[in-house]
Amino acid sequence: MPLSVHHRRPRRPLRLLLPWLVGALPVLCGLLIMYWQAERELQGRSEASAKQTATQIERILDNISAAARDLLPLAGLPCVEEKLALRDQVTRRAFVRSTNLVYRGELYCSSLFGPYSEPVHDSDYTQGTLWLMSGNSVTPGHALLVFRVTEGDRGAISTVDGDHLISALHLLDADVHPLLQIGSHWMDRDGNVKDGPLPVAEVAAAQVTSTRYPFSIHSGYAQGKVGELMRSEYPALFGLLVVLGAIAGVTCYWQLRRVTSPRAELQRAMEAQEFLPYFQPVVRRGDYRWAGVEVLMRWQHPRDGLVRPDLFIPYAEHSGQIVPMTRQLMQRTAELLAPHADTLDDGFHVGINITADHCQDLTLYDDCQAFLAAFPADKVVLTLELTERKLIVPSEVTHTLFSKLHELGVLIALDDFGTGQSSLAYLQQFKVDYLKIDQSFVAMIGGDALSLHILDSVIELSSKLGLGIVAEGVETEAQRDYLDRHNVDFQQGYLFARPMSAEAFIQALATQHPPLVVSH
């Protein structure tokens, strides 16, 4: 059926998928931007906290290095005399845990023990000044940072407790994971000092190296921090994206539906003039000359070929497009037949099928008038075929319309007669001129006596009502002869001619015989 298959088939999955893709696009783009934004935000935070931590550690080192520098001139002097000066520094300076004096590679005096003896190895100190220890004999397993200043044989050492460093590393953002690196040693915010390769943060890794002391601060976040930040900070934005995505998806869906709907397809076909009139002659009783013709709509579909009306007329009726389609069909018929008007007998009947919807306003009158104006006066009789399957609801408008149509000389035929529910009152109300006996009754000829009786009654009724009769669907000579004997005025059917194209019809008009190659 053209209305369901006309969409090029391979595009069907795409049609179903497209609204989802269009809907997902703003969400995906938005998420990408949000992700990028969150990463930048974290990078900024990571760098800022590394910088602040480094500043704080420099401050601590300033404090303890001042102590060492103050004590340096005392190095080499006897310990018993200087140990009070060592303790004085410990007391005065907030971050100093201990102070020591060195002479010729030996730590010989300590603020804690007084005279002491321990070798000092240069290799322990990064750039000769800093040594990050995981612990010493006083506090094993507890981090300690040692600062050393040397001048010739003399040296002074001050230390700071790991707890101060831990506090510095805890200064900022609770989620950031800062590390203090000195030479090959590094310490995390829990105070663990380790040796070896430094772990690199998975997210927003940043590093700040002090310009004044040989240490670096590394910071960053654990895996999943970007997602966490997005979840906590952008839920409103995300909601907006989902709403935008939904709007985009639904809009796309409707747009596609509009473009591929039967209504749009019929509209397209109408604009492309794909609806063509086909013609089936109606013959007169006796000599079987062509007394008229019924115009039957065909759809010359660009891909599906010639489409029969029962496949698309119901859609057109449903959408209301049948009215402009019929108008176009009437114009086309007039254009095609008018130039050959001289080959038509005078009073040639042209039957146009209309539906009840046509009768709701007076435009049908204008269409009929325009149709008749295309032919010389009295050349053609326009007959409107109204199906009995769908009766017209009488109203002021229909009353006016049918009176005006009669004034114009337009005849009314009741199509498919016998299949519907029309009453005598109905026939009178719409001033019906012809009954077209449905082909199902004609098919009864040659059948059982009861069926024939029904057909006879229909014929009798119409002659009593003074109406003309057209028998439809005449296929055999037996049917033709039977209808003849029963005074049926007109016949139509494959026996005489099948519906044919305008070209074939015009060609056959001259000879009054259907061409050998008949169209369906």
- Under the rule (CB under 5 A), what is the footprint of Mn ion? 353, 385, 415
Q: Which residues contact 422 (CB under 8 A, 6 or more apart)?
A: 388, 391, 414
Amino acid at 394: P
x-or-dash string of contact with ligand G, 419-438, rule CB under 6 A: -----------------x--
The answer to whether the beta carbons of residues 330 and 365 sit under 8 Å apart is: no
110 binds, among ligand G, Mn ion, none (CB under 5 to 8 A by kind): none
CA within 13 Å, CB half, 514? 22
Cβ at position 294, least distance to Mn ion in Å: 5
Closest Cα to residue 203, out of 365, 38, 351? 38
Nearer to ligand G by C-beta: 287 or 310?
310
Give the footprint of ligand G on residues 355-384 (CB under 6 A).
355
Cβ at position 353, least distance to Mn ion in Å: 5
- Cβ count near 123 (within 10 Å): 8
439 lines the binding site for ligand G (CB under 6 A): yes
Closest Cα to residue 359, out of 387, 381, 382, 380? 387
172 binds, among Mn ion, ligand G, none (CB under 5 to 8 A by kind): none
Closest Cα to residue 219, out of 205, 199, 203? 205
Task: Give 422-439 as a 3 state SS string.
Answer: CCHHHHHHCCCCEEEECH
Cβ at position 279, least distance to Mn ion in Å: 12
Chosen residue from 180, 187, 203, 297 binding ligand G by CB under 6 A: 297
C-alpha of 401 from chain center: 47
Q: Which residues contact 258 (CB under 8 A, 6 or more apart)?
A: 264
Nearer to Mn ion by C-beta: 82 or 438?
438
- Please tell me the distance from the alpha carbon of residue 518 to that of residue 322, in angstroms, as a whole number: 27
Residue number closest to ligand G, CB atom: 493
Q: 330: burial class by Cβ within 10 Å (0-12, 13-18, 19+)?
A: buried
Amino acid at 382: L
Nearer to Mn ion by C-beta: 19 or 351?
351
Nearer to Mn ion by C-beta: 114 or 309?
309
245 binds, among Mn ion, ligand G, none (CB under 5 to 8 A by kind): none
- Cβ count near 191 (within 10 Å): 16
The answer to whether the beta carbons of residues 130 and 147 sit under 8 Å apart is: yes
Question: What kind and span of H or E run contains 457?
Answer: helix 449-464
Cβ at position 413, least distance to Mn ion in Å: 8
Nearer to ligand G by C-beta: 111 or 353?
353
x-or-dash string of contact with ligand G, 64-103, rule CB under 6 A: ----------------------------------------
Cβ at position 323, least distance to Mn ion in Å: 17
Cβ at position 335, least distance to Mn ion in Å: 21
- Please tell me the distance from the alpha carbon of residue 27 to that of residue 520, in angstroms, as a whole number: 54
- Please tell me the distance from the alpha carbon of residue 518 to that of residue 520, in angstroms, as a whole number: 7
x-or-dash string of contact with ligand G, 308-347, rule CB under 6 A: xxx--x--------x---x--x------------------
Find the part of the chain contacting ligand G (CB under 6 A) among 54-62, 86-94, 104-112, 486-494. 486-494
- Please tell me the distance from the alpha carbon of residue 490 to that of residue 282, in angstroms, as a whole number: 6
Cβ at position 389, least distance to ligand G in Å: 8
Closest Cα to residue 57, out of 162, 133, 141? 162
x-or-dash string of contact with ligand G, 498-517, rule CB under 6 A: -x------------------
Q: Which residues contact 461 (CB under 8 A, 6 or more apart)?
A: none
Give the CA angle between residues 46, 49, 53 to the nearest 5°: 140
- Please tell me the distance from the alpha carbon of residue 290 to that of residue 77, in angstroms, as a whole number: 142
499 binds, among ligand G, Mn ion, none (CB under 5 to 8 A by kind): ligand G
Nearer to ligand G by C-beta: 474 or 504?
474
Nearer to ligand G by C-beta: 26 or 473?
473
Nearer to Mn ion by C-beta: 415 or 489?
415
Nearer to ligand G by C-beta: 22 or 297?
297
Give the footprint of ligand G on residues 43-62 (CB under 6 A).
none
Nearer to Mn ion by C-beta: 142 or 389?
389
- Please tell me the distance from the alpha carbon of residue 198 to that of residue 195, in angstroms, as a whole number: 8
Nearer to ligand G by C-beta: 82 or 385?
385
64 binds, among Mn ion, ligand G, none (CB under 5 to 8 A by kind): none
Cβ at position 334, least distance to ligand G in Å: 14
- Please tell me the distance from the alpha carbon of residue 400 to that of residue 414, in angstroms, as a whole number: 19
| The two structure tokens encoding residue 516 | 């050998």
Nearer to ligand G by C-beta: 12 or 390?
390
Q: 346: burial class by Cβ within 10 Å (0-12, 13-18, 19+)?
A: exposed
Chosen residue from 475, 476, 486, 519 binding ligand G by CB under 6 A: 475
161 binds, among Mn ion, ligand G, none (CB under 5 to 8 A by kind): none
Cβ at position 349, least distance to Mn ion in Å: 12
Cβ at position 318, least distance to ligand G in Å: 12
Give the footprint of ligand G on residues 265-294 (CB under 6 A).
280
- Cβ count near 199 (within 10 Å): 14
| Binding residues for ligand G (CB under 6 A) | 280, 296-297, 308-310, 313, 322, 326, 329, 353-355, 385, 415-416, 436, 439, 472-475, 492-494, 499
